[in-house]
A and B are shown apart, each in its own frame.
Chain A
Amino acid sequence: MASISARRLAKELREIEGEGCPVGINLIKADDFATWWFTIEVMGDSLYQGEVHTLQFRFDPQYPISSPAVQFLVTDGRTAPVHPHVYSNGHICASILGNEWSPVLSVVAVCVTLQSMLASCKKKERPVDNDRYVRNAPDNPKKVCRFSDY
């Protein structure tokens, strides 16, 4: 029997293929129900004009009960946006990816939230503890990144 995640992700994929992604978000890879890639750019006036970043989602078989592991890719010339909640290794501190995750959220909902996180940024800078975090960061961003209040 297909895992919970496969059924739910198949539905989300059909929706994306049928209705398309919101403006500025494009699905570029979804070969399986384990790893999906999206490009994300901020439309309109923002500090990130002209920048295109790649978001990676990794799902375990319990998705959407368990949250996806979401990060920006920083390989093959891709970069993480410079943002107070985005570490230079691509890991993101966003409440909905950690302790504010809810199984009624979806992949597209996460993309839109991160897009607006970038859009509302006032100053391009790395998190204050970037260097220390990146030195010790685990492979899975879900393991460490736990901010609670924004």
Chain B
Amino acid sequence: MKVVVKHWHAVAQWRWDTGNAEPADDDGEDVCGICRVPYEGCCPSCKMPGDDCPLIWGECTHVFHMHCLLKWIGTAASKQQCPMDRRTWVTAERKIGATTST
């Protein structure tokens, strides 16, 4: 039997490399603790997910949409603390995994 490919559809999926091998959430998606939108979605101020609405990593290992975290850190009430553990927020260098290409 000879198979001839007449046409094909490419399907791609992307996910932020948060350092977690698998999403922890039951729905299969991790969410930003501030806006509760999946990391792969975008913060409430943005329309398009992706590089324009990136994630931000803290040295405390907590991850948020960058825009959400910056809104919080920009308030006096935040005292510049991580919303999760109230440690002083220090942005971590983003670790690029070995398998991640840019």
User: Which A residues form the contact surface with B (CB < 8 A)?
Assistant: 2-4, 7-8, 11-12, 64-67, 99-104
Knowing A102-B83, A102-B86, A104-B83 are in contact, say whether A7-B75 is a contact too (CB < 8 A): no
Question: B79: which A residues are within 8 A, CB to CB?
Answer: 99
Using a CB–CB cutoff of 8 Å, the interface residues on chain B facing chain A are 33-37, 44-45, 68, 71-72, 75, 77, 79, 83-84, 86
Residue from the list B36, B45, B75, B83 in contact with A66, Cβ < 8 A: B75
Smallest CB-CB separation from B32: which chain A residue?
A104
**What is the predominant secondary structure among interface residues of chain B facing chain A?**
loop
CB-CB under 8 A for A8 and B44, given A67-B77, A101-B77, A104-B83? yes
Q: Are A7 and B34 in contact (CB under 8 A)?
A: no
Across the A-B interface, how many residue pairs have beta carbons closer than 8 Å? Answer: 38
The answer, among B33, B37, B71, for a CB contact under 8 Å with A104, is B33
CB distance B34 to A103 under 8 Å? yes
Question: In the complex, which residue of chain B has the Cβ closest to the Cβ of A102?
Answer: B83
A104 to B86, CA, bound (A): 11
The 6 closest A-B pairs by CB, nearest first: A104-B33, A102-B83, A104-B83, A4-B44, A103-B34, A11-B36
Give every chain A residue within 8 A of B72 (Cβ-Cβ): 65, 103
Give the shortest distance, in Å, between A38 (CB) and chain B (any CB): 19
**Complex: A99 Cα to B68 Cα, angstroms:** 19
Q: Most chain-B CB neighbours within 10 Å: which of A7, A8, A64, A101?
A: A64
Report B-chain residues with C-beta under 8 Å of the C-beta of A64: 34-35
Query: Within the assembled complex, what's the spacing in Å between the Cα atoms of A86 and B10?
Result: 61
Distance (whole angstroms) from the CB of A118 to the closest CB of chain B: 24
Contact, CB under 8 Å: A8 / B71: no
User: Which residues of the partner chain B approach A103 to less than 8 Å between Cβ atoms?
Assistant: 33-34, 68, 72, 83
Contact A4 B77 (CB under 8 A): no
B68 CB to closest chain A CB (Å) equals 8
